[in-house]
Structure formats: structure tokens, C-alpha cells
Amino acid sequence: MTSTSTGGSRDLASLAQDLESVLSERMTQVRSLEDQVREDRKQLDEEKSAMAVLGSAKGSDVLQLNVGGRIFTTKRHTLTQVEGSVLEGMFSGRWDSGFDTDDTGRLFLDLDPDCFAEVLHQLRFLQLSGQTEVDWRRVIAPERKEHYFRSMLDFLGLAKLPSFQPVFSFLHPSIGRGAQERHVCSETEGYKWAVGETVMEVGTYMWGFKLRKLKNSTNWIYLGVIATTRPVENSFADETSYGWAGNGETYSSGVKSAGHGGWTGFQDGDDVTMQFNVDSGVLRMKVARLSSAVFYLTGLRQAQWRVHVNLFGAGDCLELASAVQF
């Protein structure tokens, strides 16, 4: 009897523990649901407040902005024309209270005022002309601010910088390609060309070259752009060829000159960066070894430009690379 009574007590204790465990689990679930309800209610209240702000924000509102120290006055609708852009969201009215302000209460944007002025000019013209969109790729940036301007357009969600694929797609039959499509080599002596994949028609592009090997005694190699995918062996002499080569050679429309702008030539191991503003027709080049020197060619007309190289010496190799800064 005593043994049976003791076993029954243990069963009841075990059952009580199980019930307590289930109850604790249920209470945890209830608390979690209560927390979720409170969070949903908070979000709903915030959304109601935001909607109230949006409801009070009108396209006809006149806004005063301090952009990098310069004062701009415009209407809200002018800034919110590009649907889905970051700029539209910024001035929808929802985030007005979150803006930094200057000492007079004007909304403050820490952006370059010259670049912002061009954006505002284009938006005002869009409103005036009745056009549906701005072709931001063709908008000319303020002088010496091309890269910043394109980056600002990207930041505001208006237009992204043109993409650049650092690969070669068109090759002379006798040129060798490495494991990657950005690496080419000259296996025998003689002129051999390689042309890039990306077509450059508008905007500004940047890319780099790494000269892996220059075995010929004159360090002759050609780097530049061209507007054809099927040139002849001496592609640097093509009428659409612009660029720089060994022996201080420079080519414009395929015409050679020597020492243009102080250019003397490449060396084995050089890191080269190029920037091409298609809209203004200016091709620039920097060589890391030559410090801050900038070489440039002008007068490149509108065309379907591509990266272009020509190798001569047996064993010469180079690699095409991305570049983010000139």
C-alpha cells in the first residue's frame, strides 16, 4: 500500500510539472503575441503620423534649401517629378522633420551646389517642356566635376554611372587570351589588336591597364579607344583610333605624332588609368609611375567607342581592369 501511494504521488507530481511546463510555454506565447500587437500598433501610429504629414505636404509648397552654402528656392513638385527616385522620397514630405537645418531653419543638403544647380535646372526644364523624363546620361556636368556629378545622380536615384565590363570580346586571330577575358598576350612578334566588350556612347567611363610584361627593347605597346571591332593589324592607324604608344607616340584619328603633351612612353609593370568623357570627346590617361601627370586627347566625335590595345613584342602581356578613381 505504501509503495502504491508513493507511486501515485510521483505520478501526480510529474503531471503537475508537465502542466506547469505547458502553462509556462503558453504564457510565453501570449507575451510574444502581446509584444507583436504593441509593435504593430506602434508602426500603425507611425504610419498614421506619416500619412498625416504626407497629406499636408503639397506639390505647390515653396521650399528653401541650403545646399553646400548656396540658397535655392523651388517648389516641392519640381523635386519630386522623378517617380521612384531617392530625391522624390526625400521631398515627399515624410522626411521633412528629419532633415538637418541651417541656423535660419532652411533644409540643409551637404552636396556640391554647382552640381545640384544643374539637377534643379534639368528638373525645371522637364516641368516646363512637358517631357516625361530627363536623359541624365547626356547632361553635361559642371567643369571639373564630372565624376562627382555622376556619383551624385546615382546617390539621388536619378541615373547610375555607366557600367563598364573590363573584358576583351574581339581579338586578332594571333593574339592569346589568358584564363580570364581581361588578360591578353602576344605570343609572336607582330602587331595584334584586342577590343573591349563595353560600348561607350554617352557619359563618362574609367578603366585601367596593368602592363604585365613588355619584353621588346622599345617597350612598344598601344593603349586607347577605337570605334570598330574589326580593324587591320596596325589598328592604331585606324581613322577611329585614339591613344598612346611606345617611343612617345600619340595617335589621333590614326595619325601619329611624337611627344604630344610631354608623353615619352610605357615601361614594363606600368599601372595605367584612363578616363573617357564621351559627351565632351576627351580621353585622359594617367600612369602611376609619372605621379600627377595627365595626358589627354580631344576631338573624339560621337561613336560606338570601345577599349583598344595593340601588342607587338613576343611575350608582351597586359590586363584590363576596373577603375573607380582617376
pLDDT tens for residues 21-50?
Answer: 767 777 777 677 777 767 766 655 554 454
User: Could you tell me the residue ranges of all domains in the chain?
Assistant: 1-56, 62-155, 168-322
- Of 205, 191, 301, 288, residue with least CA distance to 246: 191
Average pLDDT, the chain: 87
Say how far apart CA 76 and CA 5 lie, in whole Å: 83
Q: pLDDT tens for residues 50-59?
A: 444 444 578 8
CA dist., res. 156 & res. 148, Å (int):
12
Whether the predicted pLDDT of 219 surpasses 70 = yes
Looking at residue 318, its pLDDT comes to 95
Residue type, 101: T
Burial class (CB in 10 A: 0-12, 13-18, 19+), 150: buried
C-alpha cell at 249: 607616340
- Cα torsion 271, 137, 199, 239: sign: negative
pLDDT at 128 over 70: yes
**Which is nearest to 218 in space by CA: 186, 247, 258?**
247
CATH of domain 62-155: 3.30.710.10
The CATH code for residues 168-322 is 2.60.120.920
Q: What is the mean pLDDT of residues 189-217?
A: 90
Predicted local distance difference test score (pLDDT) of residue 41: 67
**Residue 163 DSSP symbol:** P
**pLDDT value of position 99:** 85
pLDDT interval class at 296 (50, 70, 90): very high
Where do runs of H (alpha helix) occur along the chain?
Answer: 2-56, 76-79, 86-90, 113-129, 146-155
DSSP state of 157: T
Q: State pLDDT tens for residues 93-114.
A: 877 777 899 999 999 999 999 9
Residue 95 CA to residue 102 CA, distance in Å, equals 16
Q: How confident is the model at residue 248 (pLDDT cuts 50, 70, 90)?
A: very high
Q: What percent of the chain has pLDDT over 70?
A: 89
Is residue 160 a contact partner of residue 202, using CB atoms and an 8 Å limit? no
Q: Give the closest residue to 221 by CA, choosing from 320, 139, 126, 133.
A: 320
pLDDT digits (tens, 9 = 90+) for 254-292: 999 998 999 999 999 999 999 998 878 999 999 999 987
pLDDT top residue among 199 and 163: 199
Query: Cβ-count burial of 120 within 10 angstroms (0-12 exposed, 13-18 middle, 19+ buried)?
Result: middle
Q: What is the pLDDT of residue 27?
A: 75
Question: 165, 159 in Cβ contact below 8 A?
Answer: no
